[in-house]
């Protein structure tokens, strides 16, 4: 893997300031979507026996657990005449279409048609590679994942942490990566969130680290060590370590394209266990309740300024140098649309 920590002195400002060169990033759905893991829904959305339907990337998917517990994320429309499989039911290890009772296995293959033994070779759904972790159900946009869903930064063992998935899932009329772009937009921390950025844009001691699948940076913000990492173009891990409970923060944000140029945003919080007891879980819950108004207010500030954002990247100036780097990373990320033709 190609990995590099890059100091600001190595960034060429002349490359940033080419006012005529607009950086063109494919929109969500143009040439497919970046080949990475996306949050499809919360684990709690899919109890046993229920077929959960949700918009995902360019279409709709059904999410269901087979009788033996195998989790599935599959294109939602029957290969016969296109009925929505959410109107069907789970039968053992298959999902049965409500219309003519064709049944599909966990790999998406049609394995039963009541009216014939001759099952058409193309009678299948697209089955996304699927993982359930950190309170969410994830699907990889491709035939085979070439990366794992990362643990939160600075976390070695997830079992040492309490996890809280936020109830509210936000939606915005923007490409999914707009959320990620925000984290390298140090100017907006000052002007939108009213945080003093005394070390410049970007801060002079911040260190950027880029490899094939991730784009992150570390920065000591006053007393607080902050670490930020985007994996693929859709997973953001943030860790703040510093004095006071407010600054012990381990968060995950996952953004997922959905049809119509929109995206969804999932939030997950992690808190280190002091003991594996209900009392300690209650302590963690109380801390989340205490910091939620501040997190909501920050998100609202972003939402207000991002409304009707015609996202483009031209006339970039030196303060935009990291945004440019991130946009180039997103532009160059491999893309695919393995579910094309199944919707």
Summarize as ranges the residues that interact with ligand FES (CB under 6 A).
78, 80-81, 83, 97, 99-100, 102
Q: Which residue is nearest to Fe ion (CB)?
A: 302
User: Whole-number minimum distance, CB 314 to ligand FES, in Å?
Assistant: 47
User: Whole-number minimum distance, CB 259 to ligand FES, in Å?
Assistant: 21
* DSSP-assigned beta bridge partners for residue 153: none
Our CB check for Fe ion shows the closer of 73 and 172 to be: 172
186 binds, options ligand FES, Fe ion, none, Cβ within 5 to 8 A by partner type: none
* Cβ–Cβ < 8 Å for 178, 309: yes
- Joined together, the tokens standing for residue 155 give 């976390």
Our CB check for ligand FES shows the closer of 95 and 284 to be: 95
The C-alpha atoms of residue 321 and residue 153 are separated, in whole angstroms, by 24
Our CB check for ligand FES shows the closer of 80 and 283 to be: 80
From 46-54, 78-86, 261-269, 295-303, give the range in contact with Fe ion by CB under 5 A. Answer: 295-303
User: Whole-number minimum distance, CB 77 to ligand FES, in Å?
Assistant: 8
Our CB check for Fe ion shows the closer of 125 and 183 to be: 183
**x-or-dash string of contact with Fe ion, 22-51, rule CB under 5 A:** ------------------------------
Interface with Fe ion includes 237 (CB under 5 A)?
no
User: Whole-number minimum distance, CB 68 to ligand FES, in Å?
Assistant: 23
CA-to-CA dists, residue 233 to 25, 27, 49, 107, 316, angstroms? 12, 13, 32, 26, 21
User: Whole-number minimum distance, CB 193 to Fe ion, in Å?
Assistant: 6
From 16-24, 212-220, 231-239, 298-306, give the range in contact with Fe ion by CB under 5 A. Answer: 298-306
User: Whole-number minimum distance, CB 167 to ligand FES, in Å?
Assistant: 34
Our CB check for Fe ion shows the closer of 159 and 304 to be: 304
Interface with Fe ion includes 287 (CB under 5 A)?
no
**Number of other CB atoms surrounding residue 197 within 10 Å:** 17
Residue with tokens 């180039």: 328
Residues 181-220 that bind Fe ion (CB under 5 A): 182
Task: Pick the binder of Fe ion from 96, 105, 287, 302 (CB under 5 A).
Answer: 302
* Cβ–Cβ < 8 Å for 224, 242: yes
DSSP letter string, 266-331 = EEEEEEE-SSSSHHHHHHHHHHHHHHHHHHHHHHHHHHHHHTT----B-S--GGGHHHHHHHHHHH
Torsion angle in degrees (nearest 10) through CA of 17, 18, 22, 23: -60
Rg (CA), the chain: 22
3-state class (DSSP) for residue 254: strand
195 binds, options Fe ion, ligand FES, none, Cβ within 5 to 8 A by partner type: none
3-state class (DSSP) for residue 122: coil
CA nearest neighbour of 283 among 253, 250, 245: 245
3-state class (DSSP) for residue 44: helix
Site residues, Fe ion (CB under 5 A): 182, 302
């Amino acid at each position: 893997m190609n990995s590099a920590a890059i100091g600001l002195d190595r960034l060429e400002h002349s490359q940033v300031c080419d006012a005529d060169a607009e950086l063109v990033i494919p929109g969500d759905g143009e040439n497919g979507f970046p080949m990475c893991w996306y949050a499809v829904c919360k684990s709690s959305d899919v109890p046993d026996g229920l077929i959960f339907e949700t918009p995902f990337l360019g279409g709709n998917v059904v999410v269901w657990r087979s009788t033996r517990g195998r989790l599935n994320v599959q294109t939602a429309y029957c290969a016969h005449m296109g009925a929505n499989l959410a109107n069907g039911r789970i039968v053992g290890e298959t999902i049965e279409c409500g219309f003519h009772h064709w049944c599909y296995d966990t790999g998406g293959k049609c394995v039963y048609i009541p009216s014939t033994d001759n099952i058409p070779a193309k009678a299948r759904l697209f089955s996304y590679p699927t993982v359930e972790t950190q309170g969410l159900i994830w699907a990889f946009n491709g035939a085979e994942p070439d990366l794992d869903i990362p643990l939160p930064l600075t976390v070695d063992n997830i079992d040492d942490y309490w996890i809280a998935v936020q109830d509210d899932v936000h939606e915005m009329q923007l490409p999914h990566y707009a959320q990620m772009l925000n984290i390298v937009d140090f100017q907006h921390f000052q002007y939108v969130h009213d945080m003093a950025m005394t070390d410049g844009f970007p801060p002079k001691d911040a260190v950027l680290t880029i490899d094939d699948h991730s784009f992150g940076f570390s920065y000591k913000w006053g007393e607080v060590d902050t670490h930020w990492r985007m994996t693929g173009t859709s997973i953001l891990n943030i860790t703040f370590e510093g004095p006071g409970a407010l600054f012990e923060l381990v968060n995950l944000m996952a953004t997922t394209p959905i049809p119509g140029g929109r995206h969804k945003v999932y939030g997950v919080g992690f808190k280190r266990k002091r003991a594996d007891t209900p009392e300690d879980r209650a302590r963690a819950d109380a801390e989340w309740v205490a910091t939620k108004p501040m997190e909501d207010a920050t998100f609202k500030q972003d939402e207000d300024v991002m409304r009707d954002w015609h996202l483009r990247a031209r006339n970039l100036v030196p303060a935009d140098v990291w945004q440019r780097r991130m946009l180039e990373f997103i532009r160059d990320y491999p893309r695919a649309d393995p579910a094309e033709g199944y919707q």
